[in-house]
Amino acid sequence: MSEQDTKASGKDRRRTSRTVRGLCTVAAIAMLWLGRNSHAPSTVLGLSPFVAVASLLVTHALHVSAGIGLVIGIVVLLRPRWFCRRVCPMGHCADAVSRLGRRLGRRPAKFFPLGQWILWLTLGGALLGWPLLLWLDPLAIFSGAFTPFVQRSTAAVWLTVLPALAVLVLSFCWPYLWCAKVCPLGAFQDVLSHLSRGARRLLRRGKTTDATSGATLPVARRAVLGAVVGTASASALRLTGTRMAPPLRPPGAVADEAFRGICIRCGNCMRACPTRIIQPDLGGHGLTSLMSPVLSFADGYCREDCVACTQVCPSDALNSLKIGQKPHIQIGLPKVDMDICLLGADRECAECRRWCPYGAIHYAFSETSYSLAPQIDPDKCNGCGACEKACPTQPKKAIVVRPV
């Protein structure tokens, strides 16, 4: 084959690669945007072997979404960086911006392999149930960028765009830096490819060569050191997280100290919620809860006929529920402030009982206030927030759902 034919063949391969990546990006956008009330968003994020392995280490269970990611991991063992070159929508966008940066005179920067440190810190933390930087997965970042376009556009919701914007700015200023040196999913693929090459060499030769051993040592050193630092950091952050008041989480949430780590802040649950009561935490419950989903009943409540958020979580921070399980899931428990309640001022009101979908509220005479007072039956109440939403007192609500 002549040099000219070789160049032409190379151009055709690059053109085909870009076409495939473009189609994958369009498909991902369609699934995240149009399929937000189905399993499609969790399928997109389930493609990440990085999320799949971290979720497996934390939950000790293999779920469908994690299984897809593990299959992708097996493919990457045979085809280095296959996911980056053919599928990853965030990588496709970052590469497009990188090419623009190159045309405008920007040059790639030399940088140490930060992605590998992010990888090992996260997997080390996952061993203790707290995968520290799992939210840096590129599919989670890409997914989060769509939240404001299908969710009520509050200032808090718009903040979910910032990670994707940061990746694009980084890629423009230092072309290809994100994909090559920072992305933990890319680093995970490099590690898998390295292990695959080492295994093949062992099978062919029966022993490792000096070159193989030399290449293995830095990776093994980073893996051990990163895992140790990750487990230590996870322990420290878990202790810090226990000092903060727990927020109200969506139904099916795992224990809050684990939730703060395993939630990847992808925005799937926010987009799936029909009443828009799931909002990103702006740090009111500590740094470890930042941008994770919390419930706000200002404009709605957790409907008794809906489990949409639990169906689209890719990391199993929310356990998948069925409608029949909803009454038995404890989101929180309402607390009544009789100093605010209209009944405490001898005024008539029955809104909380009227709107409770589970019949968990009745009124009883209080010898303390010498008036009727709402009584909550914890065996019937799941903390859906209907009573808080219906309470007419302003600006503070007389009945507020608190974490249990």
354-399 pLDDT per residue, tens = 999 999 999 998 777 677 899 999 999 999 999 999 999 999 999 9
Position 35 pLDDT exceeds 70 = no
Amino acid symbol at 304: E
Residue 250, H or E segment: none
What is residue 61's predicted lDDT score, i.e. its pLDDT? 74
- DSSP state, residue 294: E
Least confident residue range of 197-211, 281-295, 303-317: 197-211
- Across 194-198, 206-210, 341-345, the highest mean pLDDT is recorded for 341-345
Peptide bond preceding 392: is omega within 30 degrees of 0, i.e. cis? Answer: no
Task: With beta carbons less than 8 A apart as the criterion, state whether 274 and 145 touch.
Answer: no
pTM of the prediction?
A: 0.82
Q: What is the mean pLDDT of residues 227-231?
A: 65
Taking the domains of the chain in order of start, what are their residue ranges? Answer: 3-242, 331-404
pLDDT in tens, 67-125: 788 888 889 888 888 998 889 999 999 999 999 999 999 998 888 889 988 998 888 88
Q: What is the mean pLDDT of residues 228-237?
A: 65
Task: With beta carbons less than 8 A apart as the criterion, state whether 268 and 45 touch.
Answer: yes
Task: Please compute Rg for the chain using Cα positions.
Answer: 25
What is residue 7's predicted lDDT score, i.e. its pLDDT? 57
What is residue 201's predicted lDDT score, i.e. its pLDDT? 77
Alpha carbons 164 and 148: distance in angstroms, whole number: 13
Q: Which CATH number fits domain 331-404: 3.40.309.10, 3.40.430.10, 3.10.20.440, 3.30.70.20?
A: 3.30.70.20
Residue 197, H or E segment: helix 184-205
Confidence of residue 211 (pLDDT cuts 50, 70, 90): very low
Residue (of 381, 208, 280) closest to 399 by Cα position: 381
Position 212 pLDDT exceeds 50 = no
Buried b (16+ CB within 10 A) or exposed e, 364-397: eebeeeebbbbebeeeebbbbbbbbbbbeeeeeb
